[in-house]
Structure 1
Amino acid sequence: METIVAKFGGTSIGNGKRIRKAAQAVVNEYMKGKKVVVVVSAIDKTTDELLHIVDESMEDTVTEKQLAEIVSMGEMTSVRIFSSAIESLGVKSEYVDPFSNKWPIVTDSTLLSAKVDFEATENKSKEIMKMMDQGIIPVVCGFLGRDTEGYITTLGRGGSDITAFLLGHCLMADEVIIVTDVGGVMSTDPNMVEDAKKLDKISVEEMRDLATHGAQVLHPHALKYKDPNINAKIIGFEHGDLSAVGTDIIGPSEQEMLKTTTLHGEPISVIAVVGDGILNKTGILAELTSILAKNNMNIFGISTGQISITVFVNKKDAEEAHRILHDVVVENENLSSLSLGKEIAMITVTSPDFIDTPGIISDVTEPLRKNNINIVEISSSQTSVVIFLEWKDGKKAYELVRGVLK
């Protein structure tokens, strides 16, 4: 029997009519013979309103324990209403909040940004399985957890999405469905570009970067909990149909889930182009990179400053790239000179944990500082850190950095 986890965001249950439509969508899937567990956020803007009231009434005197309990009331209200709406449609339902002995999400005691205890949560999720086996539709509070002392905790922003993906994994669900106020992931913000298109699918890594840089459809932290063996999609609430087509979330791949440190096998060369105030000159970066692309030369990294642009290329391409870029420098009045530097090593450190690990760059670079190894350039994304340094230091630096992930 197919099992689905359906998570409804605050906007998608923003009023009574929307809750009724959402409950009917759940019941429709149940009547098809599927097992369904529902995860709900607080009703639209409830949490923000509670936080505003707390700020006005207590300002900085509120404790973390008090705040966690207060903001939890949004989700605890939602589950009661949603479960009752399901039962009004003739199907047995039961709400599950942190005070229930069937509560599944176990965390540490960091009350306002708790970390999940996976083993304990997997064990407690068996209670949710039992409910579904009995023909009951469980409605579970998103965003919330409970520590081993019985205190309410919260999972931080995006917590309801975390709850959905986490339960999907623990329940070995076939699909996790995220129901939002948009019909899926768009090629860009439709409020900014009218002809934005809905994507049929998107990878976890792409979704993570989009979400980190402003896309509101899904919180990047939640994607850490996405099981690669479980289907997932984002759909709009307006359909009132959990079978509706949306945007499928693919992955993560095995590589994206691994903690890895790699040293590029061959030396890389660095070319520095300088010119007065070139950072403020339109089109210079495009001119430099496009000429290399036309000559089929790969760029491993780019660094920009007020008066310089540094490009990292294959050593085998370095002399030809230097010659080609020299022609650009001579012809462009905004550029004055360029140089071909030393052989460079490139180390890439990757981990899905980086997204919620403060200070990871200092953790990675500290062993290099202690061993007097100079960093030529460093860049980072949500899941990786790339370090460029002198080739002679490459192997030693690789061993030092690799130890960070152990």
Structure 2
Amino acid sequence: MDLLVAKFGGTSVGNGERIKKAAESIAKEYKKGNQIVVVVSAVNKTTDDLIKLTEDAITHHLTEKQHAEIVGMGERISVRLFSATLESLGVKSIFIDPYSDLWPIITDSNYMDAKIDFDKTKEKTSKLKSLLDDGFVPVICGFLGKYKNQITTLGRGGSDITAFLIGECLNATEVIIVTDVDGVLSTDPRKISDAKLLESITVDEMRTLATHGAQVLHPNALDYKYPNIIAKIINYNKGDLTAKGTYITGPKDYKPIDLYENPVASITIVGKSLLNKVGIVSALSNILLENGINLFKMNPHHNSITVFIDSKDANKAYKLYHDHVIKNDSLSSISRDKDTAMFSITAPEITEVSLANMLSENNINAVLINYTKTEILLFVEWEFKYEVSKLLNNYNN
């Protein structure tokens, strides 16, 4: 017997026909003897409609407490519809919203972007096990939380967060995200028609895709995808929880703060108006590629380009670059700076501002900080590696 958590997005329950198809997919697994918890989003566009109505009626007089109560109505309606549909199919079911004594997701008092109290949530979620053992299928509102007796919301990606969190707390066999696509594709099929369905994707890859526009899964939800959870994204059109889709794997040995083990050398190539000249950057990159040297980072400026590579390759690269410079009229000279330590930072608690403040307060100068939506790449002088590592890990903990 498996314990499944199935989350249905707003499109997946977008009308009566889809709600029935979704409920039938649950009934099919239920009749196999599996235990199932259902997490449901608001019916497609309901939340947007509620927000629009609220803004038109109340404007700036709306409190966050009132806002959370109103936007949460969509999920509260969905669980009642879904649970009733399951019962019509002969499945014992119970709907659970934040006003139920069985409600599991406990948060702080931030009504519109609440932080989860994991210990209290785990304790409350464990009480669902007796329902499952008695043959019930609990249907739970996604997106919502509870502080004392008040509704809170989990922010963007909230329903996916709910599913992964319940999966972890119940030690579920699998979390299934049911949405309006077949899974994760190699690219947007609206742009390239022969996009390929991926059989699996890592958490880090999925987070990067989601952060840069892929709408299959919100990146916030992946913070709650624990290593022991099997997760899958499938299309509601299949009407089958065992349908082929994309598995999300990991995180395995995930390190939110990762220090590269070797010193990293930086070599700077100097010239005039380099960014205005075609082929300069690609030529420098190709020199490393052709000689089996891994490039960690290239930092181009108007009159210089700095490359970061493993220090064991620095002497070889320095000679190759010097040979290239003296043959190229656009380049004038090269130099090598002190070795650096390279940190990859994916801890959400460490932001651009907090990192800058941390280094400044400890009188540490960064050689380079490269920010993206999903990662901070930090280079500091090698002699500061242990001090910076300690500061970053203390901050993350």
Classify the TM-score, shorter chain.
Answer: over 0.9
CA distance in 2, matches of 1:265, 1:158: 35
1:342 matched to 2:337: yes
Alpha-carbon distance in 2 for matches of 1:337, 1:10? 59
2:309 to 297, 310, 313: 313
Residue aligning to 1:369: 360
Does structure 2 retain, via aligned residues, the 8 Å contact 1:344–1:388?
no
Q: Report the counterpart of residue 169 of structure 1 in structure 2.
A: 168
Alignment of 1:321-400 (within 5 A): 321-329=317-325, 335-348=330-343, 350=345, 354-355=347-348, 357=349, 360-380=351-371, 384-400=375-391
2:181 is aligned to 182
SS in 2 for 1:316: helix
Give the Cα separation in 2 of the matches to 1:47 and 1:350: 34
Change (3 A) 1:28 1:265: closer
**TM alignment of 1:71-150, pairs within 5 A:** 71-147=71-147, 149-150=148-149
Q: In structure 2, what residue type is equivalent to 1:41?
A: S
Cα pair 1:348 1:384 within 8 Å, conserved: no
Q: What CA distance in whole angstroms lies between the structure 2 residues aligned with 1:402 and 1:171?
A: 29
Q: Residues 6 and 176 of structure 1 are in contact (CA less than 8 Å); yes or no, is this contact kept in structure 2?
A: yes
For residues 218-272 of structure 1, give each alpha carbon's deviation from its aligned partner in whole angstroms, at most 9, with x where no partner exists: 011111111211211000011001010100111111x21x45453x454322122
Q: Residue type of the partner of 2:369?
A: I
- Measure the CA separation in 2 of the matches of 1:398 and 1:137: 47
Q: Which has the higher mean CA deviation after the structures are superposed, 217-226 or 123-132?
A: 123-132
Does the 8 A contact of 1:363 with 1:404 survive in 2?
Answer: no
Distance 1:396 1:76, change over 3 A: closer
The change in CA–CA distance for 1:329 and 1:19 in structure 2 (over 3 A counts) is farther
Q: Which amino acid aligns with 1:250?
A: T
Contact between 1:41 and 1:141, CA under 8 Å: does it hold in 2?
yes
RMSD: 2.1
Shift of 1:181: 0.4
3-state DSSP class of the match of 1:387? strand
Alignment: residue pair count: 397
Query: How far apart are residue 323 of structure 1 and its match?
Result: 3.0
- Find the partner of 2:288 among 279, 285, 292: 292
Q: 1:32 to 1:401 in 2, by over 3 A?
A: closer
Q: Does 1:196 align with 2:156?
A: no
Quick check: 1:261–1:401 contact (8 Å CA) kept in 2?
no
- Once the 2 structures are TM-superposed, how far is the Cα of residue 322 of structure 1 from its aligned partner? 2.5
Q: Indicate yes or no: 2:298 matched with 1:302.
A: yes
Against the structure 1 CA distance between its residues 40 and 402, is the aligned structure 2 distance closer, same or farther, given a 3 Å change threshold? closer
- Asked if the contact 1:231/1:248 (under 8 Å) is kept, the reply is yes
Name the CA shift for 1:388/1:111 in 2 (closer, same or farther; >3 Å).
same
Q: Give 5+ residue unaligned stretches, structure 2.
A: none
Which AA in structure 2 matches 1:388?
F
CA distance in 2, matches of 1:307, 1:197: 42
Q: How far apart, in 1, do the equivalents of 2:179 and 2:336 lie? A: 51
- Aligned runs of 1:40-51 on 2, under 5 Å? 40-51=40-51
Aligned position for 2:221: 222
Cα distance, 1:298 vs structure 2:
1.5
Q: TM-score, normalised by structure 2?
A: 0.93
Q: Secondary structure at the match of 2:72?
A: helix
Tell me the amino acid that sits aligned with residue 305 of structure 1.
H
Partners in 2 of 1:395 and 1:119 — Cα distance?
32
Q: Which 10-residue stretch deviates more, 366-375 or 239-248?
A: 366-375
**Does the aligned pair in 2 maintain the 1:2–1:174 contact within 8 Å?**
yes
What SS does the aligned partner of 2:378 have? strand
CA distance in structure 1 between the aligned counterparts of 2:9 and 2:220, rounded to whole angstroms: 16
State how far apart, in whole Å, the 1-side matches of 2:59 and 2:302 are. 43
Pick which of 285-294 and 176-185 moved more: 285-294
Match of 2:237 in 1: 238
CA contact (8 A) 1:365 1:401 kept: no
1-structure distance, mates of 2:201, 2:257: 23
The change in CA–CA distance for 1:326 and 1:249 in structure 2 (over 3 A counts) is same
Relative to 1, partners in 2 of residues 1:393 and 1:131: Cα closer, same or farther, differing over 3 Å? closer
Aligned counterparts of 1:280 and 1:31: Cα–Cα separation in 2 = 67
Check 1:401–1:141 CA distance in 2 against 1; reply closer, same or farther (3 A cut).
Answer: closer
Matches of 2:33 and 2:334, distance apart in 1: 68
**Residue 176 and residue 269 in structure 1: after superposition, are their counterparts in 2 closer, same or farther (change >3 A)?**
same
Cα distance in 2, alignment partners of residues 195 and 331 from structure 1: 44
